[in-house]
Structure formats: structure tokens, C-alpha cells
């Protein structure tokens, strides 16, 4: 039975009972009158109580009693209608209140009400959760009970403006929690609140936590900035490389022609050292711009670090204690080992500079994986399996302002002549080029930890090693075809190769190179070609020559990574490459290596196809 029917049954029941009660009372009194022999009043009256109540009710009494019962039932009906309506309204109100409460509870924003004096009247569970207090402990208090005075003052001021204007107002409010000092940013909409009679009653506040959005925005802006700075740096480094090649190469040749006793010898030495230094700077810029050409190999990070540790100890000095915490069974990674050295050296030099007197630097490695859920909650993390390299120091640490800028090239807090501001930008570029990511944790006066995540390598684990040749290898009478569109570099190359004993054919035009090769009486052993040339790129030239001279070996040279021979700066196996600027020794070693490589051509031609395809996908430059 529903609520309304229940009301009807109950009320009508009571009304009928009242009617019947009247009937009984009336009958009873009538009987008493007859019992006392008042028969003169009624000629034919009932003789027993039962007759008076039921069997012998006189007509006039029957009429009166029935009328009363009917009247009672009608009244009962009216009352039942009224009551059931009231019940319905009450139920509706209750339902609405529950819906309203559920709505307020479910809204993912913070909601609160304050009176005109800033005293909290109500708040929702989000608000409770955000401030870590229950509603009962919040109601009756003001912001001054929870927050520091300056912040509470600013909230109070904002509330007052809203009440004075009578219009909603949007604001961004930064809240620093006193207990642990963490910072959250709320976007708030405050509205003046009025009572039913139109009197100002206080302020309704709705707040949304936008901390994560603000952090993501900042990260996005930062990465865009790094990208444009990277493009600029890469472009400058590219042009500068050609000039450095010429200065370094000719100085080297000139140094060989004069005696050490000659007064010009020292001058030339100075030029040579300076050009080497400028080459180092362009290398770092190219690393940052992710245009450093690299030859990655599969390696064990622990082994690579262990080989470098001794050198790092010397670099850091005796006052700083080096701690090494390698985790066993590290996953393999694929990276150019020289880049690991670049990372370690740069981080160590910075740690040394950050430690005033005595301190410690620790290196740690371990395997680590992040899933999508973890990355959704942690800004700056990318899902996947990684090998972590953490470098920590207990030095000066950094302020948040410095931290924002450390990866930008030329940002330094060190004095003139002390810092170049290229260390961390190099590290950043290297990590990005290898599809990893880097996070920094630092606190002033406490220290700094750099965490570098390099992706796990799946596939062959053919660990390779590098050798250091000390001798300058000479020619065995081979014939070299040299193609370079910049005449000064062409001339320099000719001179170096001649000194090394090679026979040379040279040209600035690829088409002329094909002609020279076809007309040459002797077999050409090695093609050394620039990659980016106006008429035809180096790869196209090599392909054309290889179709007629299948035993030809090829060495590419370029100032930066061209996608013609590499994917995102990573050389394919079997492709030989020398980066400009190069020294005489670099070219001698590389030329010999290519000429002595027996399987180079097969590998190279096997990769032509994949490069052709890859080029279409990455025809834009690789940054
Ligand atoms: P440089 O070392 O030439 O200044 P980097 O790019 O290597 O350039 O570093 C940029 C800046 O970052 C430094 O000038 C320094 O302020 C800060 N920095 C880097 N590493 C640390 C560290 N371990 N501790 C404190 N500050 C550091
Ligand atoms: Mg540095």
C-alpha cells in the first residue's frame, strides 16, 4: 500500500469510528431514558440496550445518527485529502534536498558559503578534502583560523569587493599550505549571496584546482622555447662548423710546415687551440639541437660508467667523495658511449662547482618502468621501461627561478670565464635525442639530483667496443674522389689527403664527379662526399656512382646530421660518416677505416631502401 492510500485508510477509519462512537453514545442515552420508565416521552421505545443500539432504533434517531456518521466520513475524507497532499509535498522536498546534497557532494569543485563577516556557513566534501578538515570544524571559523595572515587578508579583500559589486568575480588564488609548504592554485568564482528578503547574506565561493593545468602549460611553454632556441643554435652551429673546419685545417697544415723555433709557431698554436675550443662549443650546441651525429651501440650503463669513474674522480678533486650505487642486471640501452661521457662530465663539473669545500657526489643506476596511470599523475614522466641514471650532490642547490632556466643554452649563474651555460643544454639534447627524459630535484642549501631516464633497448645485445688509434694511418696508394661544394673546404681536403699520400680527383660539382669517375683510367677506391649540395645530394651521387663502380667505398661528411644519411641524427649501420670540422688525424683514421671495411658496401646498400622510405617520413629536419 502506498503512502497516500495509507493516509486515506487511517483517516477514514478514524472518522468512521468517531461516527459509530456517537451512535453508541446516543443509543446508550436513549436506553437510559426508557429504562427509567420515561415511556411517556416515547410511545414505542426499546426495552433492552441491544434494541436501543441496533434493533429498535426509532426513525428520528436513525436519521440523526446516520447523518452524523456520514458527516464524520466526509470530514475524514477532506482531512485525508489535505494530509496526503502535505505528505506528498514533504516527500518531494526531502527528495529534492537529497538530490541537491548529492549534487553538491559530487561536484568536483570546491564550494563554500561565508557570511558577511567571512565566517564559514557551509562547505562541500571537496573543500573538506582540499583543506584537510571536516565541515563541522570549518563552520563558524574564518580564513584567519586556517591560513597565514597575508593570504587570509587577500581572501577577505576579494570577498569584500564581490559583496560591494554584487556581481560574480573570477580570481586565481595561490594557496601555500603551512604544514608542508606545498603550493596549489585555485581558480575561484565568488558571488554575493542574498537572503529571500533581498538582504546581503554573504559570499558563495566555487573553486577549481588548476595546479596541474598550470604546471602542464608551463612545461609546454618551456619545451616550445627550448625547441626554438634549439633550431637557432643548430643553424648557427652548422654555418660556424664550416668556418671552424677551414681555420683548424689550415692551421694544422701550416704548423707542419714550420719549425717549432719559428716565432710564428706559437701564434699558430694559439689559433689552433682557439679553433679547437670553438669546435667544442659548436659540438655542444649541436648536441643541444639534437643534430649531433651519433653512432649508438648497445651497452650496459654500469660498465660504461665504471670505465669513466676514475677520470671523473680526477675531474672532481680529492675533497669530494664519489659514491657509486649500481643495481645489478641493468637492462641494455642503445646510445653512443661518448654521449654517456658527455652527460657524466657535465653533471660532475656542475656538482663540483656547486660544492663549496667538502661534499659528496653519488651516481646511482637502476631499472624502472612507468605505466600510463603513473604518468597521468606525474608531470614530466613518459610511460615505458627505462634505465635510470641519477647523479646527486649535496652542494648549493638551486632556487625555483634558476631551475626554470638551467637547460637553456648560455644560461649560467657562474661568473664570466667560469661557466659557458652549455653543460646542461648538452645533457638535455643528448637525453632527448635518445628518446629519454630528464627531471631535476633541487633545494637551496640542500643539494641537487638529476634523474635521467634512458629507454630500455629491446633486440640484439651485441655489445661493441671502441678503439683509440694513436698513429695517423697513411694511404696505401688508393685513389680518392673528393666532392665538396665549398671550395675552401675542398682545397683543405685535397691538401690533407695529399699529405696522407692519397691520389686525388676532386670537384665542387656532383655531375662533374660522375664524369671524372667515368673517365678515370684507374679504379676509384673511395668517394668522400659532402652530404648537402645544391645539384644533387651526397647519397644520390653515391648511388649513381655505385651502379657503375660496385666496389667503391663511400665516406660522407657534413657539418650536421642530414636526414639523407641518418634518421633523427642516428646513423644507420654500414654508413660511414665524418662530421665537420675534422682534423687531419680524424680524416686519416676515418678514410682508412672505410677502405679497410670489407662488409661496408653490403650493409650500406641494404640500408639505401630503408633510408629512402625513412626520408619521406622525416623530410623535415630532426629537431
Ligand atoms: P654552466 O655550468 O656553464 O654554468 P650549465 O648548463 O652546466 O652551465 O649549468 C647551468 C646552471 O645551472 C649553472 O650555472 C648553475 O647555476 C646551475 N646548476 C647546474 N647544476 C647544478 C648543481 N648540481 N647544483 C647547483 N646548481 C647547478
Ligand atoms: Mg656546467
Distances in whole angstroms, Cα of residue 66 to Cα of each of 20, 30, 61, 258, 347: 9, 16, 8, 144, 107
**Alpha carbon of 410 to ligand 2 centroid (Å):** 10
Nearest ligand to the CA atom of 315: 2
Confidence of residue 34 (pLDDT cuts 50, 70, 90): low
Higher pLDDT, 588 or 53: 588
Q: Which three cell numbers stand for residue 534?
A: 645544391
Q: Give the separation between CA 384 and CA 82, rounded to whole angstroms.
A: 69
Q: Is 413 in the pocket of ligand 1 (CB under 6 A)?
A: yes
Q: Is 395 in the pocket of ligand 1 (CB under 6 A)?
A: yes
CA contacts within 13 A on the Cβ side of 85 = 5
Q: What is the pLDDT of residue 565?
A: 63
Query: Which tens digits make up the pLDDT trace of 469-523?
Result: 456 788 888 999 999 988 888 888 898 898 888 999 999 999 999 999 988 888 8
Nearest ligand to the CA atom of 442: 1
**Alpha carbon of 422 to ligand 2 centroid (Å):** 6
Confidence of residue 81 (pLDDT cuts 50, 70, 90): very high
Index of the ligand 1 atom closest to the CA of residue 346: 7
pLDDT above 50: residue 615 = no
Dihedral of alpha carbons 538, 540, 545, 546, sign: positive
HEC letters along 356-393 = CCCEEEEEEEEEEEECHHHHHHCCCCCCEEEEEEEEEE
**Alpha carbon of 105 to ligand 2 centroid (Å):** 52
HEC letters along 187-250 = EEEEEEEECCCCCEEEEEEEEEECHHHHHHHHHHHHHHHHHHHHHHHHHHHHHHHHHHHHHHHH
Atom 15 of ligand 1, nearest CA residue: 413
Cβ–Cβ < 8 Å for 540, 574: no
Nearest ligand to the CA atom of 413: 1
- Closest to 168 measured CA to CA, from 201, 200, 136, 193: 193
Q: Which three cell numbers stand for residue 204?
A: 558563495
**Alpha carbon of 204 to ligand 2 centroid (Å):** 52
Q: What is the pLDDT of residue 174?
A: 86
- Closest to 534 measured CA to CA, from 505, 508, 561, 515: 508
Mean pLDDT computed over 601-620: 42
Q: Which of 229, 280, 343, 424 to mutate to test the pocket of ligand 1 (most atoms within 8 A of CB)?
A: 424
Atom 8 of ligand 1, nearest CA residue: 421
CA contacts within 13 A on the Cβ side of 480 = 30
**Pairing state between β 566-567 and 570-571:** antiparallel
Atom 12 of ligand 1, nearest CA residue: 406
**Alpha carbon of 277 to ligand 1 centroid (Å):** 20
Q: Is 342 in the pocket of ligand 1 (CB under 6 A)?
A: no
pLDDT above 70: residue 564 = no
pLDDT above 80: residue 193 = yes
Within 10 Å of residue 160's Cβ, how many Cβ atoms?
13
Q: Give the separation between CA 234 and CA 145, rounded to whole angstroms.
A: 55
Mean pLDDT computed over 30-34: 75
Least confident stretch, 15-29, 117-131, 232-246, 361-375: 232-246
pLDDT above 60: residue 617 = no
Index of the ligand 1 atom closest to the CA of residue 396: 25
Atom 18 of ligand 1, nearest CA residue: 350
Atom 7 of ligand 1, nearest CA residue: 423
**Alpha carbon of 32 to ligand 2 centroid (Å):** 120
Q: What is the pLDDT of residue 462?
A: 53
**Alpha carbon of 412 to ligand 1 centroid (Å):** 6
H/E element holding 424? helix 423-433
Q: Is 419 in the pocket of ligand 1 (CB under 6 A)?
A: yes
Confidence of residue 7 (pLDDT cuts 50, 70, 90): confident
Q: Is 587 in the pocket of ligand 1 (CB under 6 A)?
A: no
Q: Which of 360, 403, 406 to mutate to test the pocket of ligand 1 (most atoms within 8 A of CB)?
A: 406
**Alpha carbon of 425 to ligand 1 centroid (Å):** 10
Higher pLDDT, 46 or 337: 337
Query: Which tens digits make up the pLDDT trace of 111-147?
Result: 999 999 999 999 999 999 888 889 999 999 999 988 8
Q: Is 517 in the pocket of ligand 1 (CB under 6 A)?
A: no
Q: Which of 226, 229, 347, 350 to mutate to test the pocket of ligand 1 (most atoms within 8 A of CB)?
A: 350
**Alpha carbon of 361 to ligand 1 centroid (Å):** 15
Nearest ligand to the CA atom of 449: 1
Q: Is 268 in the pocket of ligand 1 (CB under 6 A)?
A: no
Index of the ligand 1 atom closest to the CA of residue 423: 7
Higher pLDDT, 27 or 291: 27
Confidence of residue 464 (pLDDT cuts 50, 70, 90): very low
Q: Is 251 in the pocket of ligand 1 (CB under 6 A)?
A: no
pLDDT above 80: residue 219 = no
Mean pLDDT computed over 333-354: 91
Q: Is 406 in the pocket of ligand 1 (CB under 6 A)?
A: yes
**Alpha carbon of 167 to ligand 1 centroid (Å):** 49
Q: Which three cell numbers stand for residue 476?
A: 696505401
Mean pLDDT computed over 167-186: 84
Output the pTM of the full model.
0.55
Amino acid at each position: 500500500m502506498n503512502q497516500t492510500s495509507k493516509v486515506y485508510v487511517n483517516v477514514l477509519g478514524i472518522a468512521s469510528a468517531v461516527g459509530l462512537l456517537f451512535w453508541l453514545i446516543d443509543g446508550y442515552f436513549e436506553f437510559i431514558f426508557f429504562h427509567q420508565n420515561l415511556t411517556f416521552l416515547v410511545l414505542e421505545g426499546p426495552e433492552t440496550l441491544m434494541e436501543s443500539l441496533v434493533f429498535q432504533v426509532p426513525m428520528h434517531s436513525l436519521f440523526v445518527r446516520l447523518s452524523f456518521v456520514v458527516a464524520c466520513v466526509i470530514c475524514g475524507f477532506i482531512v485525508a485529502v489535505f494530509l496526503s497532499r502535505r505528505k506528498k509535498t514533504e516527500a518531494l522536498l526531502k527528495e529534492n534536498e537529497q538530490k541537491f546534497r548529492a549534487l553538491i557532494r559530487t561536484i568536483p569543485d570546491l564550494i563554500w558559503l561565508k557570511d558577511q563577516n567571512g565566517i564559514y556557513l557551509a562547505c562541500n566534501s571537496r573543500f573538506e578534502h582540499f583543506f584537510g578538515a571536516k565541515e563541522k570544524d570549518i563552520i563558524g571559523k574564518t580564513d584567519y583560523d586556517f591560513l597565514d595572515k597575508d593570504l587570509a587578508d587577500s581572501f577577505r579583500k576579494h570577498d569584500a569587493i564581490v559583496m560591494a559589486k554584487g556581481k560574480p568575480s573570477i580570481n586565481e588564488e595561490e594557496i601555500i599550505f603551512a604544514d608542508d609548504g606545498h603550493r596549489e592554485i585555485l581558480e575561484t568564482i565568488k558571488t554575493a549571496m542574498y537572503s529571500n528578503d533581498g538582504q546581503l547574506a554573504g559570499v558563495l565561493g566555487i573553486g577549481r584546482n588548476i595546479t596541474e593545468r598550470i604546471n602542464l602549460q608551463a612545461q609546454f611553454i618551456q619545451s616550445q622555447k627550448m625547441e626554438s632556441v634549439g633550431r637557432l643554435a643548430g643553424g648557427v652551429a652548422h654555418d660556424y662548423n664550416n668556418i671552424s673546419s677551414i681555420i683548424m685545417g689550415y692551421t694544422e697544415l701550416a704548423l707542419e710546415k714550420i719549425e717549432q723555433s719559428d716565432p710564428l709557431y706559437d701564434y699558430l698554436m694559439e689559433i689552433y687551440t682557439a679553433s679547437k675550443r670553438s669546435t667544442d662549443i659548436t659540438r655542444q650546441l649541436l648536441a643541444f639541437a639534437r643534430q649531433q651525429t651519433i653512432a649508438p651501440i648497445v651497452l650496459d650503463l654500469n660498465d660504461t660508467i665504471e670505465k669513466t669513474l676514475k677520470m671523473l674522480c680526477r675531474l672532481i678533486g680529492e675533497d669530494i667523495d664519489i659514491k657509486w650505487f649500481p643495481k645489478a642486471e641493468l637492462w641494455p640501452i642503445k646510445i653512443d658511449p661518448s654521449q654517456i661521457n658527455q652527460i657524466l662530465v657535465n653533471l660532475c663539473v656542475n656538482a663540483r662547482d656547486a660544492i663549496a669545500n667538502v661534499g659528496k657526489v653519488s651516481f646511482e643506476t637502476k631499472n624502472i618502468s612507468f605505466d600510463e596511470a603513473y604518468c597521468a599523475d606525474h608531470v614530466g614522466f613518459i610511460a615505458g621501461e627505462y634505465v635510470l641514471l641519477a647523479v646527486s650532490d649535496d652542494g648549493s642547490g638551486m632556487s625555483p627561478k634558476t631551475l626554470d632556466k638551467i637547460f637553456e643554452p648560455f644560461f649560467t649563474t657562474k661568473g664570466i670565464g667560469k661557466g659557458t651555460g652549455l653543460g646542461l643544454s648538452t645533457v638535455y639534447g643528448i637525453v632527448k635525442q635518445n628518446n629519454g627524459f630528464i627531471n631535476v630535484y633541487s633545494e637551496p642549501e640542500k643539494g641537487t639530483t638529476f634523474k635521467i631516464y634512458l629507454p630500455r633497448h629491446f633486440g640484439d645485445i651485441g655489445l661493441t667496443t671502441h678503439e683509440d688509434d694513436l698513429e695517423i694511418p697513411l694511404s696505401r696508394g688508393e685513389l680518392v674522389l673528393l666532392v665538396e661544394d665549398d671550395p675552401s673546404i675542398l682545397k683543405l681536403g685535397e691538401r690533407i689527403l695529399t699529405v696522407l699520400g692519397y691520389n686525388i680527383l676532386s670537384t665542387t660539382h656532383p655531375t662533374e664527379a660522375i664524369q671524372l669517375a667515368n673517365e678515370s683510367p684507374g679504379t676509384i677506391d673511395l668517394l668522400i662526399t659532402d652530404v648537402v649540395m645544391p645539384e644533387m645530394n651526397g647519397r644520390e651521387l653515391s648511388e649513381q656512382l655505385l651502379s657503375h663502380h660496385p666496389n667503391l667505398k663511400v665516406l660522407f661528411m657534413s657539418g650536421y646530421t642530414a636526414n639523407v644519411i641518418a634518421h633523427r641524427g642516428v646513423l644507420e649501420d654500414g654508413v660511414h660518416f665524418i662530421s665537420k670540422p675534422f682534423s687531419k688525424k680524424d680524416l686519416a683514421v676515418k678514410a682508412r677505416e672505410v677502405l679497410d671495411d670489407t662488409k661496408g658496401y653490403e650493409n650500406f646498400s641494404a640500408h639505401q631502401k630503408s633510408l629512402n622510405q625513412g626520408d619521406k617520413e622525416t623530410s623535415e629536419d630532426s629537431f
